[in-house]
Structure 1
Amino acid sequence: MSEPSPERSQAAQDRMVRLAGEDLRVVVPSSHFFRGAIASWKDIWDHRELWWLLVKRELKARYKDSTLGFLWTLIRPLVQLLIYYFAIGEILGASRAIENFGIYVFAGLTAWGLFNEIIASSTGSIVGNSGIIKKVYLPREIFPLAAAGAAFINFCAQMVVLFAGAIIISGIHIPSVVTYVPLSIILILVWGIAAGLFLAAVNVYLRDVQYLVEVTLLIGMWLCPIVYSYSMVVDAAPKWLAELYILNPMANAVLGFQAGVWAPSTTSAALPDNLISSMLIFIGIGIVLILLAQRYFAKAQRNFAQEL
């Protein structure tokens, strides 16, 4: 092995002297609620380029060694839409109860799929990146946020298929799209990110959480009006239970997304009163939950390296 040149040795010594003269910097996030939250989010913003690289890595890893690659993101929802429209809607007769059943159920599944993927991928994001976390310091929140970013890009691809199918099969009402769809997406994102940050931190200490999340998400899908309509809940359940049902933020998000995309000629699936107001309230609650989840994450991450 060749000896380093005198110039390089002198440069290395100069760097060591310069670093030795600097004050030590604390890299553990501050536990102060407001100052710590501002500093943490600023640190995340400063690493936004790294966040985007992690998002792209998530997407590439999903279709690694695949010939069609990202096209599978379009093929899979297209096949699902055809199955719901022909097999379940027309052959099994589900469209008799809910008009344009294929669009209705696919809209609900697309909205729920975004939330489901954010939660499922965020929960294991810290454990899955343990090698990086144990070697270098960076804002660890970036890993669940990258999982959420990848889930959102997949959702956008599915939404292209959904809108194309809706235009061909039933048509869409532009004012409804503009009113309901953005609110529904924001509602799903804020609650998904809040839950993802919290669960990603808890999963480091309790590895059973990721399996509990899978079961909870399976149950949660059936607590949203995806394969049945909200009007069925109102007709079949007591009034107090129907009112309790609509307190589910994801039920509001799914209903809002369906209201924007699904355009029946009848009132076969009525919407709850004040749906827009409810979504706005839940968005506000979700933003508060993001702040609380990030503060818990900042406290819990102090021992991530030891636990991993």
Structure 2
Amino acid sequence: MNRAERLEALSRASFTTIGVSVESGKSHARYRGFFSSTREIVTNRSMLSLLVRRDIKSRYKDSSLGLIWTLIKPLTQLAIYFVVVGKFLGAERGIPDFAIYIFTGLTAYGLFSEIVSGGTGSILNNAGLVKKVYVPRELFPLAATGTALFNFMIQLFVLFGIVLLSGNFRLSWNLIYLLPAVITLVSFGLALALLFSAWFVYLRDIGYFVEIAVMVLMWASPILYSWGMVRDVVTSAGIPWLLEIYTANPVTLSVLGFQEAIWGTTDRGLPIPDHLMVQLSIAAAAGLLCVIGAQRIFTRLQGNFAQEL
């Protein structure tokens, strides 16, 4: 019995135990509420854990470097941006420890982009399970989120190591910014993953759209430049209202939260938006509400997944 067959067998066994048949699960999928869906996901948490482990193992299967590849991409991006954007284009002027500044932003944005990108294809990539076995379909975007969090923790560990080695680590209450920032990134990322994964089943152009959107959103976040630079540009251009729109972006707020917590924006005398913690907390709460709304849309769309796949 190969790995896929074992996975399907485990899925069937788990649902036999709780007395839920394949057909009854499908017939009631559209009418269950968010909290009943959550209870079902919690009931099948072992299945979710299995999917996350499978994704991590399959990603690095037959790789001699294994998890090291998790670091190679962001570190390569760091080197390119540091040299090209920082040195050649002069973006590092006015931003001390520019390499740490970039890596902080890349670590935060990498979590969001991996949740959205991985979650978008999660249903399609598991078409065999979706067509043959009833499991809560939300498990697949959630598994992509779990994999992204695993990779994020590795990168965050490396980031803290770099900050410690550079001698710039400051143990302060600013670290509390990490909590609402991570909640915001995960909640909005999961909400988009639920929506896009469902739409991707019916419209394959969604995959190309997500690729472009993820690329554009990275440049629309203060990763390679500072928030203060944006403020100065839009103010001198006479369009200060554009700064409010730019700052309202949940990803922008989360990146700023990471920078304040790890890089120490205010300690270095650089500006940040007023009441950043309040804005981050509001964004985190809004993100959780978006997850609920996205799950309801996902539930309405999942009824024909097997036929479309």
| TM-score band w.r.t. shorter chain | 0.7 to 0.9
CA RMSD across the alignment: 2.2
Distance in structure 1 (CA, Å) of the matches to 2:162 and 2:109: 18
Distance in structure 2 (CA, Å) of the matches to 1:254 and 1:203: 28
Partner of residue 285, structure 2: 284
Q: CA deviation at 1:263?
A: 3.0
Partner of residue 14, structure 1: none
Does residue 68 of the first structure (1) align with residue 68 of the second (2)? no
Partner of residue 186, structure 2: 189
Aligned in 2, Cα 1:209/1:38: closer, same or farther, shift over 3 Å? same
User: What are the residue-to-residue correspondences of 1:29-40 with 2, within 5 Å?
Assistant: 29-32=28-31, 36-40=33-37
Partner of residue 5, structure 1: none
Q: CA deviation at 1:79?
A: 4.9
Q: 1:49 aligns with which of 43, 46, 49?
A: 46
Q: 1:96 aligns with which of 93, 96, 99?
A: 93
Partner of residue 112, structure 1: 109
Structure 1 outlier segments of 4+, above 6 Å = 22-25
Q: 1:157 aligns with which of 154, 157, 161?
A: 154
Aligned in 2, Cα 1:175/1:27: closer, same or farther, shift over 3 Å? same
Alpha carbons 2:22, 2:134 under 8 Å: kept:
no
Partner of residue 273, structure 1: 274
Partner of residue 231, structure 1: 228
Give the gaps of 5 or more residues in structure 2. 1-19
Aligned in 2, Cα 1:97/1:133: closer, same or farther, shift over 3 Å? same
Alpha carbons 1:120, 1:213 under 8 Å: kept:
yes
Alpha carbons 2:119, 2:197 under 8 Å: kept:
yes
Counting aligned pairs with the same residue, the percent is: 43
String of CA shifts for 1:181-221, please: whole Å, max 9, x gaps.
12211110011011111111111111110111111111111
Distance in structure 2 (CA, Å) of the matches to 1:66 and 1:182: 33
Alpha carbons 1:104, 1:258 under 8 Å: kept:
yes
Q: CA deviation at 1:170?
A: 4.7
User: What are the residue-to-residue correspondences of 1:174-185 with 2, within 5 Å?
Assistant: 174-185=171-182
Partner of residue 220, structure 1: 217
Give the gaps of 5 or more residues in structure 1. 1-21
Partner of residue 298, structure 1: 299
SS of the residue corresponding to residue 290 of structure 1 reads helix
**Between Structure 1 and Structure 2, how many residues are aligned?**
284
TM-score, normalising length from structure 1? Answer: 0.86
Distance in structure 1 (CA, Å) of the matches to 2:173 and 2:227: 18
In structure 2, what residue type is equivalent to 1:27?
A: G
Aligned in 2, Cα 1:302/1:23: closer, same or farther, shift over 3 Å? closer
Q: CA deviation at 1:222?
A: 1.2
Aligned in 2, Cα 1:190/1:197: closer, same or farther, shift over 3 Å? same
Alpha carbons 1:107, 1:257 under 8 Å: kept:
yes
TM-score, normalising length from structure 2? Answer: 0.85
